[in-house]
Structure 1
């Protein structure tokens, strides 16, 4: 039975042990049996291994098939544009602000120095340039460590390519499912992109702490350097952070970060990126950073965020979308003038503080530091630093937050943020508190303070500034300050282009980010009257046209409305010029009635003051709300001869690739494309703007508004070396005061009022409060931008008239009552016609007492009825108008 097997399995030379006497079988049969056994055993092992390998391969294949089906497209990374910072530059090219959800400066691979790349490769993935996206040995080692520690020690084994996949396309969890997907995508991306592109994605995407994403932003954050300026130990510093930025803080975890940095340097040395000598030098370097105070922060070069740049943020977020603005890497060229913006801020702040100190009520900051933190300088400085109080105020000198450490019998000792303590300490003397009264818990005001303790208590957080001499700026003492309760706004722009050169939306941006120049809707009061007069001048009236200034009564659903002049006087038949110069309310209402409020409304809407002006007569006196920004832009159209102005805070916007996506000035300039121009020639700019007003009307109105400044309601407040035109405005009960004026090239406007409108007081007028703000700013603006006579349009014929009566005078007439008025060529003016708007004075409506004592006259209205009016106007009377 064994023959076939034995015959088939005989050895030519069987092993010697088979001939041993102990073996009781035939040699060939034994050999065959043993060989069969061995083959069966090995076959079983082989089959088991083969099936196991097949099963493992099948399992992995199935896993990779299952998890690889619905993965994100790795091909999208080839077109990936990471979120980057949008930056705002001034007209002079200075960086003034930046906005981002993730603070990232994109650095293409070819701009990242090899040293920086080598540091990150040494720290994160030394085989980056040789593997195919994943490192099996690293994964196996991590798995072994995890098993040994029972899952407590779970470390990453991800290559840089895998980290790119995790950061861009996957979640950051540590589940096996995510790791499988990560490996699949890493293998795919290695075939789609070259190593440098993958490294570029990684080094621009990673978070490196301190709100810095990517190596370029981190280099600026930690060292205030560009990537090309980094030393090896600084590159190793950055390469230490991706592992866990919060665990390697350069101040709180300095020792741990130093150890990690030195490890990276050692890896760089072992990988041949730095020499042994360089390693010894670099590892000996101390750990330096901006956070540790070793370098000046890049933020020191940025001015504090203010109303101007925040308004750019608000407008561009509306135009481009908030997402694109904060992540699109836009480069914005702002219109702001770096020299004039501080002038505007100070001009407004001076006036607001002057009013606030005149009211004399102490409010402080409303913040306190617990008494138990005042004993240690380190504690109170930390507590003070953590408080949100304004730190962006400079008025005469910089304002500092401070805390009251001690209150003496007369003076109070303070600790000042950013100012070192001195022997004896810093003190607020008693005399510095004597301007104010403190509001008590019951809402009543205490008596005027006599000592510092009457205003402040221990632990109070206050604002202080240095009081210095005018002569040489030497220190006198520290003085208490506070943010005024009254607020306001100021804006200035180029009359020809609408470029806003200065804008201040309140006393302090850090105290209140609400921009009162663009967001506060306020009643413009008499500053709206020029639009009524513009409608009249375009409707055939002239500056010499006579309008009756007499009492009016109007039936309204709320009862009889009896508007009045600010002076409580009536002046009888008066030329239009005088009506605007002296801000006569009754003349304005009659004029609006004659022209028609629908016509007035169309003018206001055409100039952009309102979207829809309600056609009620009270709106002729500025009762409908608008913004200072819109009013200033409208006045610019008066100044430039009646051409459309689109106000803007931005000259140009470029995308991340440098392409212009917005440009404000769309005028035609063919000469600007020439390589050069002949000496003495300037480029010729062709205006293609819409005309919103006849140029003669614009000049007539400008001339009349120049009279407001020369001899009208603003005469005592404005005194500048170039011709200025403008208009004051004061609303009912002086809840808002305005002045908007312009030279031949700059328009500037101001309003002041409480955020919740209430009276500023009987003595508050536009000329007295906003006039000085305009004066301070324009005195500096004229030095820089100049100014000159207002341009006279073609078609003007000048005739002398009497500004008191509107009568025509001879060409040689002179005197204070003579004014040379522009009339349209070919339209012979008719003098002596009187308009009253169709109103007649009620028989039972008494004149005010001041007028009753003066000689009165009876006049016939356009309806044939009789009315009694007062004497001729007194041009020494101040009348700023308002909503009466």
Structure 2
């Protein structure tokens, strides 16, 4: 009996010691927790959107693509899908689902050493605590912190508020944060338009968006979605017949269609972005969820872009063909070799192609296969034909500033040449990126509103905005200042000045040689008829343009030549 008493006493003391250590540990952990009240003041990073004057979206900026949706705007079927997938007892537990914890512990003990991943029993509240306040470390200390914070959160926030925060914070893959962005990204729908099957698929993603990627792992995605539908049936949200019907459906993923005008106003949008960032700051631009209404007219913008590109192409082609973009070996897998060459993303109508053959009928080409990324399967390369009659402009070869006329296509192109083409009807046209650039600005003269703006041929090729950033030569507009300066220094309209050839270094290793419009020089001319007055090295008079411009409050942006 004494032995039993000793054993009982030692055991009791050990248990009390363990309990005491546990209490001290919990007290220490509880005093090292972040402030859970931050959740009540959480301001999510939201996506900023730019709109045209008619409300058409033209650009989006965000570090995290998120559109915040209040809980009242989330349909019950969507809530049911996420609760069935993540936490079916959400509205009944106090932050920790004790029964699920014991089930998970038992399952992990049974599978110990089997190599299977340990399963958790985190509630939605615990996931919220981890995502907002803690790290993702898989340690006992972090799990204890998570449990304590969950209980505190449940006492300070309502269940609906917790669910609202969770549904707007979760990452669903493909750059989408929250269910509003997820619905647009995967189904091109608002949350209110989602079917039960679509909501079930979105609810399947938080556990592992990459594991259930619909393009990379379609079988896994369908299986996980069907599991969520099965859980919804068990929880009484859908009937057996409805569940069976929805499980038989395909995923129906439909990537969000980009507005056709969004890529057509890059130069305009970039100017607006700089203005907004300068006025409100980068943080407000990328995290503040701003809604910016601009003056852009999408119809006029599309017309301006088309007109500028057509004009530059016509002007450039009239001066001959400058040769292919590159040359590749077509004896092997030419499609892979061609895909390595980058193209301009905003030139949707133009494609890269490789010359496969040249004949009297025209040029046989192979088209560049689009780089769809790891989540898409590659497509087979296409082939086509550039008709001989459409290539007459290319028979003029431009090289070294001279144009040479040729009479045969095989003197222009050869197999392996990489070129740009544009599909027109059933055939293709040969294209080349123009060397010349241009710009268009369309304004309403009554209000000053900019209705359309194009700063160059291709924004992907060059982001330099020739409509707003280029420094233009003043030309004849500056003549009044030159003549006014001359009159101020004693010249009269009858004063003779020398109109003769002149040159000076331009600072870039070349010579600047001004000349008259007709290319001729008049010799001694009166000031009344003279076209140049800013120089006369022999008369001793001050150089008028060096001081009269500033007097008229003209401040040149160029640095003086030294």
Q: Same fold (TM over 0.5)?
A: yes
**1:361 deviation in Å?**
3.4
The equivalent position to 2:316 in structure 1, one of 334, 356, 364, is: 356
The equivalent position to 1:427 in structure 2, one of 382, 385, 395, is: 385
The equivalent position to 1:400 in structure 2, one of 340, 347, 350, is: 350
When normalised by structure 2's length, the TM-score is 0.81
Match of 2:57 in 1: 95
Match of 1:669 in 2: none
When normalised by structure 1's length, the TM-score is 0.54
**How has the CA–CA distance of structure 1 residues 453 and 188 changed in structure 2, closer, same or farther, with 3 Å as cutoff?**
farther
Count of residues paired in the alignment? 533
Match of 1:412 in 2: 363
**How has the CA–CA distance of structure 1 residues 546 and 143 changed in structure 2, closer, same or farther, with 3 Å as cutoff?**
farther
**How has the CA–CA distance of structure 1 residues 299 and 555 changed in structure 2, closer, same or farther, with 3 Å as cutoff?**
closer
| Equivalent residue runs for 1:752-763 within 5 Å | none
Q: Deviations over 1:600-636 (max 9, x none)?
A: 236555xxxx57677x7xxxxxx99xxxxxxxxxxxx
8 A Cα contact 1:400 1:416, kept in partner = no
**1:268 deviation in Å?**
0.9
**Aligned equivalents of 2:225, 2:526: Cα separation in 1:** 88
Match of 1:163 in 2: 127
Match of 2:29 in 1: 67
8 A Cα contact 1:403 1:459, kept in partner = no
**1:536 deviation in Å?**
5.6
Match of 1:524 in 2: 473
Match of 2:44 in 1: 82
Match of 2:455 in 1: 505
Match of 1:316 in 2: 276
**1:239 deviation in Å?**
0.4
**1:425 deviation in Å?**
5.9
Match of 1:688 in 2: none
Match of 1:217 in 2: 181
Residue 111 in 1 paired to residue 96 in 2?
Answer: no
Q: Deviations over 1:700-724 (max 9, x none)?
A: xxxxxxxxxxxxxxxxxxxxxxxxx
**1:146 deviation in Å?**
3.9
What RMSD over aligned residues (CA atoms) do the two structures have, in Å?
A: 4.1
**Aligned equivalents of 2:331, 2:271: Cα separation in 1:** 40
Match of 1:332 in 2: 292
Residue 183 in 1 paired to residue 143 in 2?
Answer: no
**Aligned equivalents of 1:531, 1:76: Cα separation in 2:** 66
**How has the CA–CA distance of structure 1 residues 563 and 261 changed in structure 2, closer, same or farther, with 3 Å as cutoff?**
closer
**1:181 deviation in Å?**
2.1
8 A Cα contact 1:404 1:457, kept in partner = no
| Equivalent residue runs for 1:16-27 within 5 Å | none
**1:349 deviation in Å?**
2.2
**Aligned equivalents of 1:168, 1:44: Cα separation in 2:** 47
**1:300 deviation in Å?**
4.5
Q: Deviations over 1:446-493 (max 9, x none)?
A: 9655444444444544322245xxxxxxx4842101111222333343
**How has the CA–CA distance of structure 1 residues 365 and 177 changed in structure 2, closer, same or farther, with 3 Å as cutoff?**
farther
**How has the CA–CA distance of structure 1 residues 51 and 551 changed in structure 2, closer, same or farther, with 3 Å as cutoff?**
farther
Match of 2:226 in 1: 262
**How has the CA–CA distance of structure 1 residues 162 and 456 changed in structure 2, closer, same or farther, with 3 Å as cutoff?**
farther
8 A Cα contact 2:355 2:415, kept in partner = yes
**1:506 deviation in Å?**
1.2
**Aligned equivalents of 1:75, 1:531: Cα separation in 2:** 69
**1:573 deviation in Å?**
5.2
Match of 1:304 in 2: 263
**Aligned equivalents of 1:547, 1:269: Cα separation in 2:** 101
**How has the CA–CA distance of structure 1 residues 551 and 523 changed in structure 2, closer, same or farther, with 3 Å as cutoff?**
farther
**How has the CA–CA distance of structure 1 residues 388 and 64 changed in structure 2, closer, same or farther, with 3 Å as cutoff?**
farther
8 A Cα contact 1:438 1:454, kept in partner = no
Larger relative contact order (Cα-Cα within 8 Å, sequence gap ≥ 6): 2
Match of 1:271 in 2: 235
**1:277 deviation in Å?**
3.2
The equivalent position to 1:586 in structure 2, one of 528, 532, 552, is: 532
Residue segments in structure 2 that go unaligned for 5+ positions in a row: 371-378
8 A Cα contact 2:261 2:298, kept in partner = no
**1:117 deviation in Å?**
1.2
**How has the CA–CA distance of structure 1 residues 310 and 555 changed in structure 2, closer, same or farther, with 3 Å as cutoff?**
closer
8 A Cα contact 1:548 1:587, kept in partner = no
2:132 aligned counterpart, secondary structure: helix
2:180 aligned counterpart, secondary structure: helix
**Aligned equivalents of 1:463, 1:561: Cα separation in 2:** 36
